[in-house]
Amino acid sequence: MQGIFNIIQRWVPLWNRETFFAGMSSTGQSESTNNFFNGWLPITTGLYSFVTKYEVALIEVYERESAEDFASEHRYRQAGPHQTLLKDAANIYTRTMFHKLQDQFDQVVQFVVIERYVEGNVRQLQVKSHSGRAESFELQIDLEKLTGNCGCKLFEYVGLPCCHLLKVSSKYDILKIPKAFIMIKWTIGANKFSRSYDESQLEGDNLRHALRHNHLSLRASNLFERASKMK
Q: What is the mean pLDDT of residues 33-50?
A: 66
Work out the angle at residue 210's Cα, subtended by the Cα atoms of residues 205 and 216, and round it to the nearest 5 degrees: 90
Q: What is the mean pLDDT of residues 31-45?
A: 61
Chain CA centroid to CA 46, Å:
35
Spatial CB neighbours of 174, under 8 Å, sequence gap ≥ 6: 85, 146, 168
Confidence class for position 53, pLDDT limits 50, 70, 90: confident
Q: Which residue has the higher pLDDT, 188 or 26?
A: 188
Closest CA to 108 of 82, 78, 143: 82
Identify the burial level of 163 via C-beta atoms within 10 angstroms of its C-beta, where 0-12 means exposed, 13-18 middle and 19 or more buried.
Answer: buried
Confidence class for position 128, pLDDT limits 50, 70, 90: very high
pTM of whole model > 0.95?
Answer: no
pLDDT at 122 over 90: yes
Residue pair 16/153 in contact by the 8 Å Cβ criterion = no
How far CA 85 is from CA of 35, 100, 141, in Å, comes to 35, 14, 17
Beta strands of 88-210 (E only): which ranges? 111-119, 122-129, 136-142, 147-150
| CB atoms inside a 10 Å sphere around CB 162 | 25
Q: Which residue has the higher pLDDT, 123 or 224?
A: 123
pLDDT at 162 over 80: yes
Q: Which residue has the higher pLDDT, 132 or 170?
A: 170
What's the confidence (pLDDT) of residue 33? 55
What's the confidence (pLDDT) of residue 221? 62
What's the confidence (pLDDT) of residue 178? 92
Q: What is the mean pLDDT of residues 201-216?
A: 54
